[in-house]
Structure 1
Amino acid sequence: MRRILNRGVGVSLLMLALGACGRSAPTASLAAAGGDHPGGDTAGIDLRCDDAAYPSAQWTSCEAQNYAKILEAPVEEAANPAFVTRWIEQSAANQFDYTARDLDDPSWLLASSPLLTALLNTPPSELAQTLQDRIAAIQADPTAAISLPLNAPLVPLCSTWSLQCTGDPYRYPQVAGADGRFYTEEAEVVPIVFYDDGCARLSGHVWLPKNAPADARLPTIVIDNGSIQAPETLYWWAAQLLVRNGYMVMTYDPRGQGRSDWQTPSGGQGGNIDTSVFVTGLVNAIDFLHSTPSQPYPENQTCAGRYPTAVTGYNPYFDRIDRDRLGVAGHSAGAFGASIVQGLGADGAAPWFGKLDAHNPVKVIVAWDALAVGDPGAPLSEGYAAVPRVPALSLMSEYVSPAGSSATSIATTAAPYLTPPDPDDHLLAYQAFADAGVPVFAITIAGATHFDFSLLPTFPASSWCPQLVNGACSGGWGLPLIEHYTLAWFDRWLKKPGEAGYADADARLLDDDGPQGRLKMSWHFHSARDYPARGGREERCNNLRRGCTAS
């Protein structure tokens, strides 16, 4: 798994370079299945690509059409002046908001270092003595030498939430469209700042459905970002989706990401330098979510006084949570974090180390590219092993994906397949969960990339904003499938009778012939499920695209 995670990191770096190069190509006109399939009844999907012999002209043609989907998003964005204008406007607004924050609280910036400030304000005649005093202080406490935030407009990458880091530019309060009105009509969204266990400041939001009954205790979801170029803004599509369907949501930037601190006061790193923060930070986030006035978030107390920044003492909506109904969604390195955290406390895994729950409270996870497992005898990052414990959905892409185990190079995974890959290569984690008797569902999306889950304008991905409806992006290829199964999986394991989404969760998960079903599933890699429906029937299928009937 360490190799898979590192491969994902390299893929992200590679695609940053590709995005900067501005590659473009015509949009594919045919579906990845090998033909044009409009919505509606898709029971008779075209399996010619699945059955195409290799090598053959047909197999090569199918792969060319499939691969062309990765440029649908950048092409449609560039061709839509309204999208480009809205993106530029929001990028500038985000840059302004970032600057205003740092002017209001300069401790977020490197230039605010107490050491630097003291030296600049010291008269020349006293400078030698001041330096001696500082050296003595550093000798007494070595961490004083590096007690700097090291934050700057480009560090962490995406700290401004501008340019590509804006994400979907229509999902902001400034927009008159449906996803902009969301903030006044459908949700209460509160910004938060809290310390992680290394005293780095983490920036985030808590999202509450506005129209939920005042006495309702809601299921909750924490979203764990991907790495490098993935601030929380890229996952606001998921926050809006879940809030609209009755969930409280917490989004945040892990250490080294977005608007959170690049490092701890003692020099502890984040992001891809120390990938364990996608595990430890997620546990910290769960602690914050479960904090109350009588049980304040503990790391804020431990780290009090590190910075003048005002932190949020506890979850502002603490009284609206059902603590027995917690789910986690994570992308890329965040999917790795979710995979590890769900298993904490299980046999062969590290113990649960949250401070406000005696036992692991996570009940279900969704891993966006991709679910991870690990042999307890071969521990993963910082001694953590991903041990199957709770129901898991793995949604995966075909291109630029850290899923699977093959030794295919990064360059090849960013390019068309030249030979057929192992069709079961994306089912390794799935099989480990199934063998452990833990409910699991795994889907690889045809023609999708790693960035179908994080909506970065200009980055290679299948269509996600082909048209604007009521001032919001609508339609697309990979994203509607991701939304469909993410919501249905959480509804299956977290909703109660009488709540929206409870009654038809299984029907949505089993809608193989619907518009988000097997039509959009990869013909390179098998998609599969092994979980019990609420009626008690075991739903098992090792190749969903071929079609599955009763178990």
Structure 2
Amino acid sequence: MRRSLGTALTVLAASCALAATALVTPAQADPQPSDPAYTARDVQNIADAYGRIHGPGGQLRNPAYLPALVEQSTARSVEQLLTQVASPTRLALTAGNVVPGWNVGNPLRAGWSGTRGLSRDVAFTNQYGALLRGTVYRPRPGARDPYTGRVLTGPFPGVVITEGSVQGSERMYEWLAQDLAERGYVVLTYDVQGQGRSETLPHETGDVLPFCDPFAEPADGEQSGCPGVPFQQLSNFVVGTRNALGFFTSTPERPYANPGAAAGEATAYNPYWRLFDRSPDRQTATPGRTTRIAIIGHSMGAAAVSKVQGTDRRVAAVVALDKLTGPGADGPLDGSGNKPVVPALAVQAEYGFTVSPWFTSGGSSLNPEPSPDGPDPMRERATGFDAWERAGVDSMLVVPRASTHLEFTDIPLVLPASRYGQDLTSVYTQLWLDRYLKHRDHTSALLGRQFRYLEPVGNGRWSPVTLERDPLLSFYYCSAYAVGSRADGDVTGVGC
């Protein structure tokens, strides 16, 4: 007798929900690769890597999700089309601009702006004259912190978020921007050149039409003589981060330069400049870094912020989402020359773009190789955390269980991500920035075992969930921290 697809999905989701709520006991963490129990546990971990889609409250199990997705995809696609038509010389030939729904983010967050916070679209050019589009977020006037009830009074610390590569788009990251803004931060998300809504080609000649010389000698860090082309290069994300910092800190008295922009094409300065706290930070954890700005990046954006934090004096803290890269780090992203300078939170994934069994966990999550003896517990420490710890700079490594490289992007229905990895990431980011930008001593909360998080469930509602730390951390790879005088190189005891 055949089961319907809906019944099969219900059964699978129920089994994943049971696994997600079960505690990982020492007995469960002990099986060896030769034991059938080890493979059975791995199969469950693979299923849980699709929890965002079919887990409890996930995309297929929340009846509000699909209607919201259709509505928001249509609205944003039309909005982007009209913006492009109005800017014919600023072509964004990208997936985020032409594929319906690609840049929708989490549709359950519709209505955030105006109720839980405020946001405004902005546009500024990078140093090559390419128009970058983004969004700035801020707390709603008179709002209270949704977790503590404390009235939010400015000015506030700042955060700049750089997206991931392979056609990431900024609205895939609005979950984190909104979570931070409603807790008392001014946040900028943006698309790097060649991704999302941002322009594909540079404007080097000062003419209204885009132009570059593809036969010119590439500059340092560039792959071609056409700056920013192709989009898939680390230079795009480093340049984007630095230029985004320049725009974020701009004011009416010191507007952003907007090279290559004609009158009216770009935003002159950060529209929320008054709310950004520009006072000297006397309590900074890093001498010489006096501004209250954190940079956050994902994937190649994580590699970029790992690099920029070492040289840009505006940066006081960094959060790298798969992966933090230290000096000379082995792996798919070049960490050569990266110097650990500011406190770093690394949230890193078990799997890459695809989910694979334990015996292919060698190499890195992004470039897996055979591993007949099982996963190396130290794998995620080696890319960056160990370098920060050796340098004596505060750092923390979090590896959510069943997490994928797509954990940190809001993508509808088709690509793998765990059910609670994004929630856990947001909680740790909030606590990390509270400690290093607001200088609130939340060490006990940061190192705690239980967290509260507010999830959007649709129709303008946010619902609390309780996150138990240990069951939500990897049993393959160690999570670790070195914060002040407190350190633990293997939080859940996986063998580091």
TM range (shorter): 0.7 to 0.9
The size of the alignment, in residue pairs, is: 421
Aligned residues of 2:124 and 2:132 also touching (Cα < 8 A)? yes
Q: What is the letter of the counterpart of residue 531 of structure 1?
A: V
Query: 315, 326, 335: which one pairs with 1:373?
Result: 326
Q: After alignment, is 262-271 or 329-338 more displaced?
A: 262-271
**C-alpha separation between the residues in 2 aligned to 1:97 and 1:204?**
14
Give the equivalent residue in structure 2 for 1:510: 447
**C-alpha separation between the residues in 2 aligned to 1:369 and 1:409?**
9
Q: What is the letter of the counterpart of residue 366 of structure 1?
A: V
TM-score norm. by structure 2 comes to 0.77
Give the equivalent residue in structure 2 for 1:303: 260
Q: Secondary structure at the residue paired with 1:190?
A: strand
**C-alpha separation between the residues in 2 aligned to 1:63 and 1:377?**
26
Residues 95-115 of structure 1, C-alpha deviation per residue, up to 9 Å, x if partnerless? 111111122232233xxxxxx
- In the alignment, is residue 444 of structure 1 matched against residue 382 of structure 2? no
- In the alignment, is residue 208 of structure 1 matched against residue 127 of structure 2? no
TM-score norm. by structure 1 comes to 0.70
**C-alpha separation between the residues in 2 aligned to 1:409 and 1:216?**
40
**C-alpha separation between the residues in 2 aligned to 1:66 and 1:459?**
18
Query: 269, 273, 288: which one pairs with 2:228?
Result: 269
Give the equivalent residue in structure 1 for 2:490: 543
Give the equivalent residue in structure 2 for 1:107: 89
Residues 259-288 of structure 1, C-alpha deviation per residue, up to 9 Å, x if partnerless? 001121223235643321111110100011
- In the alignment, is residue 232 of structure 1 matched against residue 170 of structure 2? yes
- In the alignment, is residue 280 of structure 1 matched against residue 233 of structure 2? no
Identity over aligned pairs, percent: 29
Query: 487, 490, 500: which one pairs with 2:433?
Result: 490
**C-alpha separation between the residues in 2 aligned to 1:280 and 1:512?**
38
The change in CA–CA distance for 1:274 and 1:263 in structure 2 (over 3 A counts) is farther
- In the alignment, is residue 333 of structure 1 matched against residue 300 of structure 2? yes
Query: 478, 482, 494: which one pairs with 1:530?
Result: 482
**Aligned ranges for residues 376-387 of structure 1 at < 5 Å?**
385-387=337-339
- In the alignment, is residue 248 of structure 1 matched against residue 186 of structure 2? yes
Give the Å deviation of 1:419.
4.8
Q: What is the letter of the counterpart of residue 47 of structure 2?
A: A
Please tell me whether Structure 1 or Structure 2 has the larger radius of gyration of its CA atoms: 1
**C-alpha separation between the residues in 1 aligned to 2:19 and 2:247?**
48
**C-alpha separation between the residues in 2 aligned to 1:35 and 1:65?**
8
**C-alpha separation between the residues in 1 aligned to 2:349 and 2:330?**
29
Structural RMSD (CA): 3.1
**C-alpha separation between the residues in 1 aligned to 2:329 and 2:61?**
50
Aligned residues of 2:165 and 2:232 also touching (Cα < 8 A)? no
The change in CA–CA distance for 1:541 and 1:329 in structure 2 (over 3 A counts) is same
The change in CA–CA distance for 1:246 and 1:521 in structure 2 (over 3 A counts) is same
**C-alpha separation between the residues in 1 aligned to 2:105 and 2:329?**
37
Aligned residues of 2:309 and 2:317 also touching (Cα < 8 A)? yes
**Aligned ranges for residues 371-450 of structure 1 at < 5 Å?**
371-375=324-328, 385-400=337-352, 406-407=362-363, 412=368, 419-428=373-382, 429-450=384-405
Query: 194, 199, 208: which one pairs with 2:124?
Result: 194
Q: What is the letter of the counterpart of residue 96 of structure 2?
A: C
**C-alpha separation between the residues in 1 aligned to 2:386 and 2:329?**
16
The change in CA–CA distance for 1:46 and 1:190 in structure 2 (over 3 A counts) is same
The change in CA–CA distance for 1:401 and 1:395 in structure 2 (over 3 A counts) is farther
- In the alignment, is residue 291 of structure 1 matched against residue 250 of structure 2? yes
Long gaps (5+) in structure 1: 1-23, 110-150, 173-179, 345-351, 353-359, 464-475, 497-501, 533-537
The change in CA–CA distance for 1:312 and 1:100 in structure 2 (over 3 A counts) is same
Residues 57-109 of structure 1, C-alpha deviation per residue, up to 9 Å, x if partnerless? 01111111111112222334345553122212211111111111122232233
Aligned residues of 1:226 and 1:334 also touching (Cα < 8 A)? yes
Q: After alignment, is 55-64 or 75-84 more displaced?
A: 75-84
Long gaps (5+) in structure 2: 1-8, 143-150, 204-211, 213-225, 279-290, 355-360, 452-466
Greater share of helix: 1
